[in-house]
Amino acid sequence: MPHASPTALRSVYTPSPYQRLPFHWWECGQGPDTLVFLHGIMAHAMAFRMAIAPAAEHFRVIVVDLPAHGFDQTFKAAHIAPTLDALSDWLMALLEAIDAPRIHLVGHSLGATLSFLHAQNTPDHRLQSVSLVSPGLKLRTSPRTAPLIKALPTSLASLGMNRLGIRLLEPMQWRRARMSLTELDAYLAPLKHPARLEFMLKLASDLVAAGDRSAGGHAIELPTLLLWGDRDHLLPLDTAHRLHRDIPDARLHIFKGCGHSPMEDAPLEFNRALSDFLLP
């Protein structure tokens, strides 16, 4: 987890309904409302390293490890398949495990996709808002890429899971922020675990094969914040404008010169936009 944040983070394991394998999250802050951060695929709770401390000034903050990511253990359960549908069920179980009267979801990429789908169908009266950061609902990649990802041997993929490999990826994912070596090693640790990496690759294949999942915004009855970089190499900007039209109570903030991770590219602007949306 990020060392750059001055906030005292606690590592929390919480019982799950999955074969006694626990959920894992990082927690800090306190307040009447709970802010739940959900990161993207092959990412880490570290994705929100620059947003945690500002959020913790007003909220109890929970930064979740998605299945097979970080210190999560639930991915070992037979019930948890590496599919978006299975992770949607997983998210519902996770939120049920969080003891909080009011919850706000802030998801990035895969985490935003899960938040979007959950907000369409949730009966949970505790959920107050959703913030969708670069939601991976309609990727620029072709669905024909999916079988190639699925066929990629874990042993081959693992060759790129080192400091050099991530440094080569950084300019695409994080155009301005660079991880320290300590942060880089923490980011890499889960990716060096063969079973975790295999799960992530299969999940990536499922996400690409799914194609366009951006329909259904009209069913979201919660206040919704859309956060989008205008130079996102994965997501077309017209999807942001369509979601803004479709979701009845939506606000759109476009980050100029930012890529797929605006909370990394423009942390001050990101934190201000999130605060303006969440705080009265």
Domain boundaries, given as residue ranges, for the chain: 10-141+212-278
pLDDT(170) > 70: no
What is the rounded CA–CA span in Å between residue 220 and residue 249?
A: 8
Quickly count: other Cβ atoms within 10 Å of residue 208's Cβ: 20
State how far the Cα of 148 lies from the Cα of 55, in Å rounded to an integer: 39
Q: Look over the chain and give the mean of its residue pLDDT values, rounded to a whole number.
A: 86
Is 60 exceeded by the pLDDT of residue 146?
Answer: no
User: Residue 181 pLDDT > 80, yes or no?
Assistant: no
Give percent of the chain above pLDDT 70: 83
pLDDT tier at 134, thresholds 50, 70, 90: very high
At residue 158, does pLDDT exceed 70? no
Question: What pLDDT is attached to residue 171?
Answer: 43
pLDDT at 156: 46
Across the range 95-122, mean pLDDT stands at 95
| Interval 134-158 mean pLDDT | 63
| 248: CB partners within 8 A, 6+ apart | 218, 220, 221
Per-residue pLDDT, 172: 45
Look at residue 166 in the predicted model and tell me its pLDDT.
55
Residue 209, pLDDT score? 83
State residue 180's pLDDT score: 72
Q: What is the pLDDT of residue 206?
A: 86
Predicted pLDDT of residue 204: 86
The pLDDT score that the predictor gives to residue 182 is: 76
**Is 166 or 258 the better-scoring residue by pLDDT?**
258
**pLDDT tens-digit readout, 43-57:** 888 889 899 999 999
User: Cβ distance 126 to 35 under 8 Å?
Assistant: no
Distance CA 26, CA 182 (A): 18
Q: Which residues of 47-59 are buried (b: 16+ CB within 10 A; e: fewer)?
A: bbbbbbbbbbebb
195 to each of 28, 98, 111, how far by Cα in Å?
Answer: 29, 27, 21
Say which CATH architecture domain 10-141+212-278 belongs to.
3-Layer(aba) Sandwich (3.40)
Output the pTM of the full model: 0.87
User: Would you say residue 22 has pLDDT above 80?
Assistant: yes
Q: For residue 280, what pLDDT band results from cuts at 50, 70 and 90?
A: confident
